[in-house]
Structures are given as structure tokens and as C-alpha cells.
Structure 1
Amino acid sequence: MSQSHTLFNEAILLLGGAVVTAPLFKKLGLGTVLGYLAAGVVIGPVLGLIAEGEEVLSVAELGVVLLLFIIGLELKPARLWQMRRDIFGLGTAQVLLTGFVLTLIGWLSGLVAWQGAVVAGFGIALSSTAFALQILEDRGGLNTPYGQRAFAVLLFQDLAIVPLLALTAFIAPGNDNHGFDLVGILVAIGAILGLVLTGRYLLNPLFYVIGRTGAREAMIAAALFVVLCAASVMELAGLSMAMGAFLAGLMLAESSFRHELEADIEPFRGILLGLFFMAIGLSLNLSIVLANWKILLVAVPVIMVVKSAIIYGLCRIAGSSHNHALKTGFLLAQGGEFAFVLFTAAAGDRVFSGEVASTLIAVVTLTMALTPLYSAVPALLIRPEKREILEEDFEGADADVLMIGFSRFGQIVAQILLAGGRTVTTLDHSAERIRQASRFGFRIYFGDGTRKDVLVAAGIEKAKIVAICTNKQEITDQIVDLVQAEYPDARIFARAYDRGHTLALRAKGIEYEIRETLESGLTFGRKTLEALGVPDSLAQEITDDVRRRDEERLAIQAVQGITAGREMILTKPVPEPLVKPERNAAE
């Protein structure tokens, strides 16, 4: 009972700290990451209200896992293939060169033996995926050239932890088991292939079945289940959990359920990632900091400057501009969360002492804590530049039109838009309709258009027009109200159910609406007149006149009510056509 009360109290402290510090630091322009860190330091090392920072960190690491899943969802496999040179070229060069230089510095300092210097140097060469990506997201830089290059380096670093752990065991004093672990490598490769095949052939049918039931909570549970299973499989294979989540997201990047999954996962990702940053603050050992403050005072800035300089140089060689290389270098200057795992393993293998491991962990923690401020330095050194958007990175997120609803009406509208060379992101809540449309090659996603988070994931903030083509009046009204409340500048085109709905939509002030049967009914009537012998030109003029009279009646009804303008309704044949032929007018 007391244990449950303790967990309950700790949860209150952590949530309260987040509520206070994150908005405050965001308001001060320091970013939410530094706010979470500050809350963790105050709650843990300073006040001593929570002592088990490592236990909180083990749970909070799920935030990093979910972050990589969402990144995978937004990154098409084709785009990942285009990034292969940055991932395996720039990423490899960064880890090797930075690791070598930091190893040399550590060895020359005389604080550790060469084995410890190797582990420390290559461990600190890895950067923090959580910190870097969160800062990129806060500053809108993830979808920029330097953001994509930084992500490529981080992705390779996630892969590098496996050989680094093997290297640590290999150079451990007194360790005779220096053989090449071929079985371990084959298991890791098999796990990756198995995850890829599972994602390709099983995940879409799974989400199709769940989506067809309409049970939103089941969809959320399935999304979390897939992420955690993928992460666990990778961990069992000796790879990182974050890598498993990334692969799961990547396999679903082309799925029709992509936007719905992103919206469902996002709240969990945000909370757990904030908890991760707080856990870093909780884990800071102030006694180690105070006992080794001279070493830390020198080591922290040296590490960050050296990493920045090396990454800057490599990015320039890879073709980055001065500004982008500078931003990337300052962004990736910190140590990473994988260093905690590596240093703990090294202490266990007696590569260096537990005290040295604790000091190195303090160094990494301080570099993380300084990252939000340090990564802002380039803004003071370079001239502001226009942010470049990589259109191919987020398919559909920057489409000209966000269409909600893909019934027969929406399908016809989509044909016109696509024929006009315009890009369209389409959302629909019917799993069966999505499955049928996908057979014809349409890019359509499963999602509830009445949810703001789904609209955001589908790219409403970048869409030039929001086309609401749903076939239910109440759903259309709900979406219109939501869009107008959250995005008052959005241009809304809507499908109206009937005359009363048309008047209601016009009263809301949307840019354009049309009754779903108006034009088809006018066309049907015109073709019937022609079949009865009325000349084509006269039939067209009569149709245009009926359309005009209908619009005039709507204008009257908007002022006087739905029953106004009854005299304008034709209830019996007119003695002569409403529009006379041109030859009669000439006579």
C-alpha cells in the first residue's frame, strides 16, 4: 500500500513540475526541454523528493521509443533510401572521427587507461536522439536540410551502439572471450528482416480489421502494442529499442492508417518524452559533480566544442552550407542516452572503475542539460535565412487540398483536382472504403476528421484549402466548427446536404459550398429537355436561368427564413419557356 502511495506521490510531483516549468521556460524562450531538466534537478538532487531517478528513466525511455516510431511514420522508405549516404557515410565518419579524437584526448589526460579512453571517447561521440529531435521539433527544423542530415547521423549512432558494446567486452581486462560473435550478428539481422516482413504483410490487415470495428480505444491499444513489441524484439536481438520502433513506423509510413496512428501515439509520446528529460535531471549526482567539478568544468566545454567542430567540418565536406553545418554541429554536440548503457557495461567489465563511470555519466548529463542553450548559439552567429522545406519528406502533409470524406462525391472532386495537377491528402473513417480506394491507387488515409490531432497529422496547417466532402450533415458541421475555431484563416469548401444545410453553412461564413445534388439534377433535367426535342442551346439557357433563380431564392431565404421565396418555385409547366430562343428575341 505504501509503495502505491509512493508511486502516486511521485507521479504528482513529476506532473506538477512539468506543468510549472515547461510553460515557464517556453515563455522565456529557453524551450520545454530545459524546463523539464530543471524540474528534474529541483525535485531530485536539490530537494531530494525523488531518489530513484534511474527507475524513472527506465520507464521514461519509452518516450524516445515512441518518438522514433512517429519519425518512422513520417519518413517514407524511398526517402530513407535517398538518405543512405548521409546515414552510412556521414554517420560512420562522425562516429569514427569523433570517437578517435575524444579517445586521444582521454588517453593523453592520464585519467584513464587506453581501454577506458576508447570506451569513453566512442561513448561520448554518440549524441542524444531525444534531445536533438525534440529541439528540432520545437524550432521547426526537422523538415529542413540540416535537420534531415542531423537525423541521418543520429540514426547511424543508434546502430553503432551494438558494435560498441561488443568492443567494450572485447577490450575488457582479463576477458579471454575475444571471438567474433557471428551468431549475435545473424540474430540481429534476422530480427530486422522478420520485423520488416511482419510490418509489410501483417500490420495493415491488422489495423484494417480494427478500424472496421470503429473502436478507437482498440486502435490506440494496437498502436502501442505494435510499437512495444517491435522495440522488445530489437532489444532481445541486441539492438536498441528505439531502432525497433523506428522500423515499425517506417513499415507503416505508406499505410492508410498512418495519420490516425500518429495522432493516437502523439499524447503518449509527448508525456513520456517530457518524463525522460525530467529523469535525466533526477539522475544527476550532485555529489559527483561537486567532487569532480574541476574535471567537469574542463571536460564538458571541451567535449562540446570538439564535437561541434568535427561535425561542422564533416557536414561541409558532405556539401552542407556554412549555416546548416553550423546548426548541425551545435545541435549534436552533447553526449547521448546510450552512453549510460555503455559506461555501465564498461564498469561491470572492469574497463574502468565505478567512480569513473559515474563521472562520465555526469559529464554526459551536463552536456545534455546545456544543449538547449548551446544549440541556440548559431542564431547569434549566422544571418537568418529562409527555412527550406523538403517537399518529399512528408507525403501529403503539404498537399494543396486536405479532403475529408471520400464517398462518391469526394471521388469525383478528387478526379478534378488530380487532373489539374494538384496534390490531395484524403481522410476517411471507413476502413472498407479505404481498402477499395487503395486498390485503384488512391492515396487515402484512415482518420477521424472531427479530431484536431488527426487534422494536424494530415497537414491541415499547410493545406491551401480544406475540402469537407462528408456525406452526413452533422459530421460536416462538426468539422467546419472545429476548423474555424482552430484555424480561422483556413479556406473551407464544403458539400451541403440540402437547402437548409446550404443556408447554415453560408451563415458560418465558409468560402464555398454546394448542395450535393444541385448540379447533377440540373444536368439531368437539361439532358431530358434535349431528349424531348428542345434545342441544346435553349436547354442550356433554361438550365442557367433555373440556377440563377435558385441562387436568388437562397439570398432571400438567408434573410427571411427557409419558407421565404415560395413563389419562385415552379410547381406546374410554364405557358412558354422561361428563356426565349435568341431568334425570337431578334425578331
Structure 2
Amino acid sequence: MESILSSIDYKDPIWIAIAFLFGALSRGMGLPPLVGFLIAGFVLNFFGLAGGHFLNEMADLGIALLLFTIGLKLKVKDLLQVEIWGSALAHILIFNLVSVAILLLLKQLNLPLFNQLSVINALIISFALSFSSTVFVVKALEERGDFLARYGQIAIGILIIQDLVAVLYLGVSAAKIPSIWATGLIVLLFVGRPLIIKFSTKIGHGELLLLFGLSMALGGSALFEAVDMKADLGALVFGVLLANTPKADELSKALLSVKELFLVGFFLSIGMAGLPNVTTFIVVPVLLILLVFKSGLFFWLLSAFKIRTFSASKASMALGNYSEFGLIVTSVAVSQGWLTNEWLVVMAVLIAISFVVSSTINQHSDDLYSQFQHVLRKYQHSSLLEEDTEIDLTDVKILVCGMGRVGSGAYDQLNENNNIIGLDFEKQVVKSQLNYGRKTYYANVSGSDFWSQIDIQNSTIDWILLCAPNVDANKTTAKLARHWGFKGNISAISVYPDEKEELIKNGVDAVFNIYAEAGAGLALHAQQ
């Protein structure tokens, strides 16, 4: 205990308090708190202040927990889709080729710092800039409630492919390959997965579940590092081991507050990474212009892989930032003597500013899409993937969102003139409902992707039933339906009495508590 406390510099709690103040100010201005944390780091850096060892450890813990929770929600089969790995690898290749050409052109213009670049230098910098930040993008998706949206899953898939490329780079650049024990560790994990899952179901709830999650995340990081693999990848893999299991959602929620706290250290440390000079402020704006090309290239590639315009544009905006991995690439290059130390400061400032720019753009991404959708749709592929095919809502009057037991019962009760359809996020549920003769489509109604593809204002739909067991999903769906112009009635189910007010605030007209309604139904049947 004494050793842990000794790692806390007396200034660290002050820096965290300052981060809180800037985060609260940022939220008050309608921006995500992480923008405030970054600005706090800039301010502290401006006054020549630096964080202690504890702040760095805090940042590492936050990243490990974040990647572990990504793994909990990840579907490995999604990574095998050609639109994910194909667009990710093609983007790295094309972006590097174009960026090297631009950097060498800037060298010919004799711009400061650029005029010192060789072809190798340009390749290293381009490679560092080709990555998007996993930490930032996931945090932004969680704040918007779009983690499970189509574009969110595309972005996460691309980021994971980038992380795998990063692992290969670190191994080659450090002349270090995973040890012979790495293969044994991977085999052991997947052989032992059933035991890990069984153990997770036996530990109950509360603090034991929280400790289990921390042990898995930090243990995964430590084990992977022990066999000369990237520690962050270990946290991600251990999360994947528990994905789609009974405890996955509960475990993710249990870790939420702890993860958020530790991530404050990460965003603070990015802002405090280096003290810029005049040259830095000349180079950084030039490299920020490359973000336009970076996002545009993502959009073009995703559209070419038959992804719908809305999802392609939202994913490209989400990925329009530079990654903290760029700092690692630059740091390795500086330590090997391939780049001067000035580039490390440039990269730190560039990444932090890219987070601020990207956060602001993503905050208004729906409005930006609405404004430019007619231009963007010209690039949409003539034949879309199954997940992106538009749903025919002609003459449909009722939407049942969530086709579980409650949704199925509502569908059967209201299906008179075939003017009702069901929607569900689980493909297996959709298949089952179709077998029962219920007209059901695959759709994620709690993501803005679905609402962007239908003209809800001019449709014949006059009633939406929200039957998902997750009240947060119902709140998000109601809010999106109202945002995209739906004027009809919205009904939703709830589990607890205090959820009613929140649902109504988000646009629901009528709320039905499933336990209260079941009790009332039982009484009516008993009286007959």
C-alpha cells in the first residue's frame, strides 16, 4: 500500500481537480468532457507543469480497461468481413503513399522541420499519422450511445485491424518478436475459455464481479507483455473471451465508472506530452489538413465496399483523428535516431488538437450529414450489403422495435391488415420471427443509421412500439425518432417506476411497466 501511495506525486490530485473543472466547463458548453481534459493538459503544459508517475499509471489502467470493455462487446466474425479488413488495410497503404508524396513536396518548399526529412523519415511520419485513436473513438461512441450502431461497429472493426498492424510494427521496429510462449498462451486461453465463462457466472454481482473484471483486464495486459506482445492487445483479447456471455453486459457496466476515472489520466497526459515552440505551430496546422484527406479516403473506400452513405460518412468522421499510437511510433523513431526530438512534440500537440477538432465535428455529425447528404449519396454503391439495404415501409402504420417476447405479443395483437412490421438487432431473432410468419427485419433502431435511411416525416407510420428490454435503448430510440421528425405516438415498456419520467422526457407518449401490466392482466383473467 505504501509503495502505491508513494507513486502519487502531491501535484497529481491538483491536476485531476483542474481536469474536472475544465471537463465540467466543456460539458456546460455542449462539448464532451474529454475536450476539457485535453485543454486542461494544454494549460498545465503551457505553464511548464508535468504529471507524476501516478498519472501515467492511471492513463495505462484506463486504456487497459477501455480495451477490455471493447472486447466484451466485440463480435469476432465482424472482423472477418471484407469491408472491415479490406478498407482498413487499403486505407493504410493509400494514405501512406499519398502522405509521403505530400511530405516530400513540403520538403521541396523548404518549410521548417519538413526541410530536414528523408524518404525514410517521411515514411515513418506517414505511418504514424495513418492510425486513428481507438481510445478516443470508443469514448466518443459511448458518449453518443452509438457503440452498437452500424457505423460504430465498422469504426471499431477498422481500429482493431489497425491495432494488429501496430503490434507487427512494434515487433519489427524493436527487432522484437513475440516469444515462443505466445502461441502457447493463445491456445491455452481459447482452450480454457469455457472454464473462464463458467467461473464468471458463479461469482455473483457487485464488488466480486468488479474485481473479476479488473483482474481479467490487468491480468490479460500483464500476460501478453510477459510474452513480448502488446499489453493493450492482451486486455482486448481477454475481453473477447467473455464477449456474448451472460455476464458481458453486467461486467461492462460494473467497470464503467472505474474506466472513466482512469481515462482522465490518459487525456491529461496527451495534453501534457510536450512543450510546443514556433516551429510546432507552423507544422501542426499543415498536418491537420491531412485529416480531411484521411476522412475522405475512409468514406471513399467504405462506399466502394458497398456500405451505405450514412454509415460510411459517420464512420469516416469518427475515424478522422490521429492516434496516441503515433506518439509511440515517433518515440521509437527518436530513440533509434531516425527522427529529431522536435517531431515528438509536434506529434503530441497534433494528436491533442485532432481530438478537439474530431470531437467538435462528431458532435454535429448528424447535422453535417443532413446538410451534405445529396452530394454524398452520389458516391453510394448501386448494390449495398445486406446490413445496409433499405427497408420498404410502404403502407406500414406500426413499427414494433424489439421482437422478443413482449414485441412478439404486441405484433400478434395488432397484426390485422398486414400494416405492421417488426425490427430487431439480433439476426437470429429475425430469422426465428420470420419462421413464425412475422414480417421482421434486421435493424438497429437505437442507432442513427436506421432513421437516416427512412423519410419518417412523410411515411405512413403513426405508431412506434419500443419493446426492447433495455430501457436505455428505448430512450435512445425515442429520442432519435423525434430528432428525425416523427410526430406520431410512441409507446415503450419499462421495468422500474423511475424509468417512466426519463422515457417521457425523451419523447415517449405512453409507458407500460411490464410487471404492473402483467399483474393487471392476471387480475382481469382471474375475474373472467
TM-score (norm 1): 0.63
Q: 1:459 aligns to what?
A: 470
Superposition deviation, residue 490 in structure 1: 4.2
Q: 1:130 aligns to what?
A: 135
Q: 2:265 aligns to what?
A: 275
Q: 1:319 aligns to what?
A: 306
Q: Give the partner amino acid of 1:33.
A: L
1:141 aligned to which of 146, 153, 167: 146
Q: 1:262 aligns to what?
A: 252
Superposition deviation, residue 316 in structure 1: 1.8
Superposition deviation, residue 164 in structure 1: 1.8
Q: Give the partner amino acid of 1:461.
A: D
Q: Is the 8 A contact 2:84 2:157 kept in 1?
A: yes
1:103 and 1:234, CA in 2 relative to 1: closer, same or farther beyond 3 A? farther
1:140 and 1:289, CA in 2 relative to 1: closer, same or farther beyond 3 A? farther
Q: Is the 8 A contact 1:308 1:333 kept in 2?
A: yes
Superposition deviation, residue 103 in structure 1: 2.7
For 1:271 and 1:419, the matched residues in 2 are separated by 46
For 1:493 and 1:341, the matched residues in 2 are separated by 51
1:61-98 CA-to-partner distances (Å, cap 9, x unmatched) read 322222222222223344x35x5323321111112221
Alignment of 1:7 with 2:28, yes or no, is no
Alignment of 1:39-54 (within 5 A): 39-42=40-43, 44-48=44-48, 50-52=49-51
Alignment of 1:36 with 2:26, yes or no, is no
For 2:361 and 2:201, the matched residues in 1 are separated by 45
TM-score (norm 2): 0.69
Q: 1:103 aligns to what?
A: 100
Q: Give the partner amino acid of 2:338.
A: V
For 2:405 and 2:328, the matched residues in 1 are separated by 44
Q: Is the 8 A contact 1:400 1:465 kept in 2?
A: no
For 2:190 and 2:285, the matched residues in 1 are separated by 45
For 2:520 and 2:103, the matched residues in 1 are separated by 71
Superposition deviation, residue 377 in structure 1: 6.4
SS of match in other structure, 2:306: coil
1:314 and 1:191, CA in 2 relative to 1: closer, same or farther beyond 3 A? farther
2:519 aligned to which of 495, 513, 521: 513
Superposition deviation, residue 126 in structure 1: 0.8
For 2:425 and 2:98, the matched residues in 1 are separated by 49
1:203 aligned to which of 196, 215, 235: 196
Q: Is the 8 A contact 2:317 2:365 kept in 1?
A: yes
Q: After the TM superposition, which of the residue ranges 9-18 and 155-164 deviates more from structure 2?
A: 9-18
Alignment of 1:547 with 2:513, yes or no, is no
Q: 1:121 aligns to what?
A: 126
Superposition deviation, residue 127 in structure 1: 0.9
Q: Give the partner amino acid of 1:321.
A: R
For 2:85 and 2:53, the matched residues in 1 are separated by 32
Q: Give the partner amino acid of 1:46.
A: F
1:312 and 1:261, CA in 2 relative to 1: closer, same or farther beyond 3 A? same
1:77 and 1:162, CA in 2 relative to 1: closer, same or farther beyond 3 A? closer
2:280 aligned to which of 277, 285, 292: 292
For 2:117 and 2:170, the matched residues in 1 are separated by 18
For 1:111 and 1:458, the matched residues in 2 are separated by 59
Superposition deviation, residue 157 in structure 1: 0.8
Q: Give the partner amino acid of 1:465.
A: I
Q: 2:178 aligns to what?
A: 184
1:485 and 1:333, CA in 2 relative to 1: closer, same or farther beyond 3 A? closer
Q: 1:453 aligns to what?
A: none
SS of match in other structure, 2:514: strand
Alignment of 1:252 with 2:236, yes or no, is no
Q: Is the 8 A contact 1:98 1:307 kept in 2?
A: yes
Superposition deviation, residue 219 in structure 1: 1.9
Give ranges in structure 2 of 5+ residues lacking alignment.
108-114, 374-386, 389-400, 414-421, 427-467, 475-491, 505-509
1:293 and 1:209, CA in 2 relative to 1: closer, same or farther beyond 3 A? same
Q: Is the 8 A contact 2:222 2:231 kept in 1?
A: yes
Q: Is the 8 A contact 1:71 1:246 kept in 2?
A: yes
Paired residues, number:
423
Superposition deviation, residue 256 in structure 1: 1.6
Q: 1:157 aligns to what?
A: 162
Alignment of 1:491 with 2:512, yes or no, is yes
1:33-57 CA-to-partner distances (Å, cap 9, x unmatched) read 2122112222x21344x41367624
For 1:104 and 1:424, the matched residues in 2 are separated by 44
Superposition deviation, residue 154 in structure 1: 0.5
Q: 1:353 aligns to what?
A: 340
Q: Is the 8 A contact 2:471 2:499 kept in 1?
A: no
1:401-455 CA-to-partner distances (Å, cap 9, x unmatched) read 699xxxxxxxxxx998999999899xxxxxxxxxxxxxxxxxxxxxxxxxxxxxx
Q: 2:459 aligns to what?
A: none
For 2:3 and 2:232, the matched residues in 1 are separated by 33
Q: 1:112 aligns to what?
A: 117
For 1:91 and 1:6, the matched residues in 2 are separated by 39
For 1:402 and 1:231, the matched residues in 2 are separated by 40
For 1:290 and 1:402, the matched residues in 2 are separated by 64
RMSD: 3.8
1:223 and 1:422, CA in 2 relative to 1: closer, same or farther beyond 3 A? same
